[in-house]
Amino acid sequence: MPTVLFVCTGNTCRSPMAAALFEAYARRAGREDVRAESAGISAREGLSAAAEAHRALDGVASLASHRARRVDAPLVERADLVVGLTRDHALRLRAIYPSAASRIISFADLPGGANVSDPYLLEQPVYDQTRRHLERLFPVLLAELDHRAARARRKRIRGEGEGKSGA
């Protein structure tokens, strides 16, 4: 089951929105096999998602069970792809987890992609705009996930590695 880990700063807005929306997108695309998680580089453990984030996802996905958590090595290691919401997040993650650097990207690294701005403490329309921004990037992200999975399978078939460590 391919797993994507979305990482932002506090894990109360962007990354939980991305994880919930990406799973919903994948299901609509017939991909029951895709799993998404989220974490924050500087998260305060246990916080709920922002009320505005809940409202932005209303009718599409739920953040009811979300609790903020800090990114850690086990989360990074079990992810097939780690997506920083900005290039800065991805750079910081590569510095902290160099063995996973080949599996860490940012939304800005995707074709047609861009950093996803932080809506924290802003008005509801900004959260709604963040949702639309994320949803526009998901087709390219799913294609990237599939491309990496196919490449890892080819490597395993050729006996060149175990997939995640050097995909």
- CB proximity list for 59: less than 8 A, separation 6 or greater: none
| Distance (Å, whole) CA 160 – CA 50 | 44
User: Residue 17 falls within a domain, yes or no?
Assistant: yes
* Residue 167 pLDDT greater than 50, yes or no: no
In a domain, 24, yes or no: yes
pTM: 0.94
CA distances from 135 to 45, 71, 118, 129 (A): 26, 23, 16, 10
Q: Residue 165 — very low, low, confident or very high, per pLDDT cuts 50/70/90?
A: very low
60-90 pLDDT per residue, tens = 999 999 999 999 999 999 999 999 999 999 9
CA triple 74-45-117, angle to 5 deg: 90
Q: Element (H or E) spanning 8, and its range?
A: strand 3-8
In a domain, 21, yes or no: yes
In a domain, 165, yes or no: no
Count of Cβ atoms closer than 10 Å to residue 88 Cβ: 14
Summarised one tens digit per residue, pLDDT across range 89-114 is 999 999 999 999 999 999 999 999 99
* Residue 75 maps to a domain: yes
pLDDT digits (tens, 9 = 90+) for 45-62: 999 999 999 999 999 999
Contact 6, 38 (CB under 8 A): yes
110 is written with which tokens? 């995707």
Please confirm, yes or no, whether 44 is among the known catalytic residues: no
Backbone phi, then psi, for 3, in 5-degree steps?
-120, 130
Its domain, for residue 131, covers 3-158
| Among 55, 70, 87, 118, the one annotated catalytic | 118
Residue 114 lies in a domain: yes
Q: Which of these is catalytic: 14, 94, 103, 131?
A: 14
Catalytic residue among 8, 13, 80, 103: 8
| CATH number of the domain residue 10 falls in | 3.40.50.2300
Is-catalytic flag, 13?
no
Question: Is 67 tagged catalytic?
Answer: no
Q: Say what angle helices 124-158 and 14-28 make with each other, to 10 degrees.
A: 60
